[in-house]
Structure 1
Amino acid sequence: MRLAHRRHLIAGAISAVLAVAVGGIATSAHAATGCRVTYTVSSQWPGGFGANVAVTNLGDPISSWRLTWSFAAGQQITQLWNGSASQTGTQVAVANAAWNGSLATGSSASFGFNGTWNDATNPAPTDFVLNGAPCTGSTIPSGSPSAPNPPTPSATPTPTPSTTPSVTPSVPNPPTPSTTPGDLEPTIVPDPSWTCNMPTGIVPPTRGRLVLRVAAQLGAIREVGATQYGHRRLLDVTGGSFVGERLSGTVLTGGLDLELTLTNGAVEVEQINVLRAADGTLIYLRSCGVAPSGDAAVRIVPDFEAPSSSPYAWLNTGTFVGARVLDTATNTVELTVYDVSGVSPTEPRIQLTDPAGLPHQSWNCATGGGTRGASVFTASVTLGSSLAVGASKRGTRTIIPITGGTISGRVAGSILAGGADYQLSGSTTTLDARYTLSTSDGELILVRNCGAFGRLVPTFEARAAGPYAFLNANTWLSSDPGFAPGGVSITFYERR
């Protein structure tokens, strides 16, 4: 999403901002009894800021809430968690998430957001209204944010603009970890089938240090429909940009965002992005994410593979958590990544549970033995130029973009541009090809063909009520890739 243009702040304007930050950012509205609001700016930089809001119900118990207010200086919300927001001009409305709508008398709910500001000051709102009643309770003391510093010019050269459309995120100063009321943001405990390598809970990102913002531009957003796992949507990454405290650059084509909405409304996401830093270094980023039903922001656990000999090798050893927000109006996905090293899961917690009776999608490659039976179809895959990340923490990563192709046999049609073979070489070479089939009768089928040479086991996701639902059974084998004009040829077989 596009953030507003930053203003150059003269010394007097900076002094005014400091005065607000130290003297009056954490405020509560004053009017009639019924509710109390604490609004705290947790971090601030030229053109942007982060804030935490806590609302306490002082009246009768409520089962859902809607908090409204108006901004006085042109502020705009760009990302919000633990609720859903809408804004028209200066007027803002935030509704509860699925899990935090019930408020007993005296209990509180909290949410946070990032936003932009265009004036010389960033005043706090003073006209909060909860479910139609003005909030007039007394102020709860809360910490003031650290004073904002103008961003230090980076010695890293500005990345060359990509030829694909991109969205450039703003350059923030990293905020200090929040203490109150941000700690009320919940830890999310994933279902054991999709733990994102944090089975005890994914901590709130904003308790860490902001290190990176990624704005990925999307091509097509494709609806596969209800598969064996849930409702599958495919988002094709075609470009973009990223910026952070120690690196910046562009997002390359060949990435995928695989979004699965379960029948209970929870969301599981796998996202792969290929980043090129300003100095030309390639970085492979694979993120796992989860979200409770109703949450627009997906809690992600990013995993980086940067060359071990590069200035970005620190990404290979950090502990990162972030948020993924899809903006269909601008056709972008924004990732905010925080270093949460040393941050432990705390209360409150949200336990996610997959629906009973349905198979679970897998993070790892499928495995299986057997011999080849009848041929199912043959794919002729066209490929782009390979991209070498180089030696990293798991081996040597090479990315071969998939640019198209055709399929023939019991399944006929074309291969859509997008995705790649994300090969990993070490003691053996493991292929991990992800792409989408478009059948001649209009169905979409997600393919993952994975494993070592001679032991490739493909898995498919097709519409469960469609003509290719038979592919959803894990009973297939694949040939090794063989040469074909412009790429490779692969045949898929029944497994005996």
Structure 2
Amino acid sequence: MRLVHRRPLLAGALAATTLVGVVGVATAASAATGCRVTYTVSSQWNGGFGANVAVTNLGDPLNGWQLTWSFTAGQQVTQYWNGTVTQNGGRVTVGNTTWNAALGTGASTSFGFNGSWNNASNPVPTDFALNGTPCTGGTTPPTPPTTPNTPTPGTPPPTTTPPPTPTTPPPTTPPPSTPPPTPSTTPSGAEATIVPDPSWTCGRSAGIVPPPRGRLVFRATAQLGAIRDVGVTQYGHRRILDIRGGTITGDRINGTILTGGLDLELTLGDGATELEQVAILRTGDGTPIYLRSCGVAPAGESTVRIVPDFEAPNSSAYAWLNTGTYVGTRTVDTTTNTLALAVYDVSGVSPADPRVQLRDPAGVAHQSWDCLTGSGTRGATVFTETVTLGGSVSVGASKRGTRNIIPITGGTTTGRVAGSVLPGGADYQLIGATSTLDARYVLSTNDRELILVRNCGAFGRLVPTFEARAAGPYAFLNANTWLSSDPGSAPGGVSITFYERR
């Protein structure tokens, strides 16, 4: 599973910059050449950006292609999908994969990538070339074969006198029309049932139905704080969106979104998305509701299909949320720094064709939906953290027990991981016969690395998992070989120590 990105997006960021051009395709001299390239900057954040590129062949069929362009402001491709990429300085070459090598006349293919930039300028490339032929502004007609000027026997040789110049220009042949791109053989994510990878089913292994097939329950807009890019971890490219409030509107539920939620977005190596989101809702009458959503999206889709799971007080007017079947959509608007949710009740709606099957890239670790477990004894101390906490939000008795949420407001760390605990996230405790902690938050080290923490399990058996940049100095944390102390009292919050596991 794979990839994602960071920090508050710059006000001038190019959230959806698109360049459409026509580039030539180098083929045999007798083949018509031409191509249309659409380059879209789909998102941009501090230090990084995502782009999608579509190529349409306007000439004779091709079997194998390479698209080249030049970055002029130091941009670098850091991760890609649906193509093979090499970069030498600013020069980028993208080649076909085995399954998209053939491009018939009018056929299209697409690929995407994430890249880095210098936060000053991210100009769109302008020198696209396909198989070495630069932009021509249209299709190039076939070059007629050269016929030797051999006189026919018995006829006089051709005169060397040129023909007279016509007084009027010959009629202009209209340029050939550009065929539309061939429709994708993959159904639109908005119309298809999405079948998740078995490692991340969201409880819908048979498929997540299109939300509009159900009945709208509510829409919500969450205001985002920081958007933090951890980088490529052991699972993929991780981006963490800090939820800082918002509003909910619907026929049966209205209210607000509270601070303390996190949107944990993972972009895989093939460009697909896996999402986990935790949020705290408060209805207009003051009822607190815990919302945890799982989501997926095919490569190239900016809207994530989510499966929301609600925990509302059993005694409240919103207890109906505990038993419904829901799906929805989640989108991020980087220009307004907001996150939009739409949730639908799909009770009675069965998965149906068309379907999009998702498969995680091979050879990559899978993230876990549930808490990890581990046995062993405590070894050497790795680091200690002091965490400051906000006022708790008690959902009360619900379908899984009594949910109590304690927002995290900051803190410090000392030891092999020295830095700070960033505000955002919470401990989403479940209190019952066996009380379980499930704390989610982010560390920022003194050398400016980000580490996503999940400390989870029953008291006395807490097992932490970390996500740090796989190529960074804290990659050792990505091994699941740690134990945690129970939270102990500290000024303004709690103190926790992490240990090597023997």
CA contact (8 A) 2:190 2:210 kept: no
> CA-to-partner distance for each residue in 1:390-434, whole Å, 9 max, x for gaps?
100000000000000000001100000000000001111100000
Residue 311 of structure 1 is aligned with which of 298, 312, 317? 317
1:337 is displaced (CA, Å) by 0.4
1:346 aligns with 2:352: yes
CA distance in 2 between partners of 1:184 and 1:132 (Å): 27
CA distance in 1 between partners of 2:303 and 2:61 (Å): 24
1:361 aligns with 2:348: no
1:103 is displaced (CA, Å) by 13
Number of the residue aligned with 1:262: 268
1:462 aligns with 2:468: yes
Number of the residue aligned with 1:11: none
CA contact (8 A) 1:222 1:233 kept: yes
The sequence identity of aligned pairs, in percent, is 74
CA distance in 2 between partners of 1:184 and 1:294 (Å): 12
Residue 199 of structure 1 is aligned with which of 205, 208, 213? 205
Residue 276 of structure 1 is aligned with which of 272, 278, 282? 282
- The amino acid across from 2:196 in the alignment is P
Q: Is the alpha carbon distance of 1:484 and 1:471 closer, same or farther for their aligned partners in structure 2, counting shifts above 3 Å?
A: same
| Structure 2 gap segments, 5+ residues each | 1-58, 63-98, 106-176, 181-186
1:439 is displaced (CA, Å) by 0.2
- The amino acid across from 1:361 in the alignment is Q
> CA-to-partner distance for each residue in 1:293-340, whole Å, 9 max, x for gaps?
000100000000000000000000000000001111110110100000
Q: Is the alpha carbon distance of 1:280 and 1:392 closer, same or farther for their aligned partners in structure 2, counting shifts above 3 Å?
A: same
- The amino acid across from 2:273 in the alignment is V
Number of the residue aligned with 1:116: none
CA distance in 2 between partners of 1:201 and 1:247 (Å): 27
Residue 293 of structure 2 is aligned with which of 287, 292, 296? 287
CA distance in 2 between partners of 1:329 and 1:210 (Å): 26
- The amino acid across from 2:376 in the alignment is G
Number of the residue aligned with 1:31: none
CA contact (8 A) 1:184 1:348 kept: no
SS for the counterpart of 1:253 is strand
| Structure 1 gap segments, 5+ residues each | 1-59, 64-98, 106-130, 135-180
TM-score when normalising by structure 1: 0.64
Number of the residue aligned with 2:385: 379
1:61 is displaced (CA, Å) by 13
Q: Is the alpha carbon distance of 1:371 and 1:246 closer, same or farther for their aligned partners in structure 2, counting shifts above 3 Å?
A: same
CA contact (8 A) 2:229 2:239 kept: yes
CA contact (8 A) 1:185 1:204 kept: yes
TM-score when normalising by structure 2: 0.63
SS for the counterpart of 1:454 is coil
> CA-to-partner distance for each residue in 1:439-466, whole Å, 9 max, x for gaps?
0000000000000110000000000000
Q: Radius of gyration: which is bigger?
A: 2
CA contact (8 A) 2:222 2:246 kept: yes
CA contact (8 A) 1:183 1:207 kept: no
Aligned length: 333
Residue 390 of structure 1 is aligned with which of 396, 401, 405? 396
CA distance in 2 between partners of 1:458 and 1:333 (Å): 28
Q: Is the alpha carbon distance of 1:210 and 1:263 closer, same or farther for their aligned partners in structure 2, counting shifts above 3 Å?
A: same
> CA-to-partner distance for each residue in 1:235-292, whole Å, 9 max, x for gaps?
0000000011111011100000000000110000001110010000000010000000
Aligned pairs for 1:8-407 within 5 A: 185-407=191-413
CA distance in 2 between partners of 1:375 and 1:253 (Å): 32
CA distance in 2 between partners of 1:457 and 1:309 (Å): 33
Q: Is the alpha carbon distance of 1:374 and 1:183 closer, same or farther for their aligned partners in structure 2, counting shifts above 3 Å?
A: closer
Q: Which runs of 4+ in 1 moved over 4 A?
A: 60-63, 102-105, 131-134, 181-184
Number of the residue aligned with 1:119: none
SS for the counterpart of 2:300 is coil
CA distance in 2 between partners of 1:283 and 1:410 (Å): 37
CA distance in 2 between partners of 1:384 and 1:199 (Å): 37
SS for the counterpart of 2:259 is coil
Number of the residue aligned with 2:495: 489
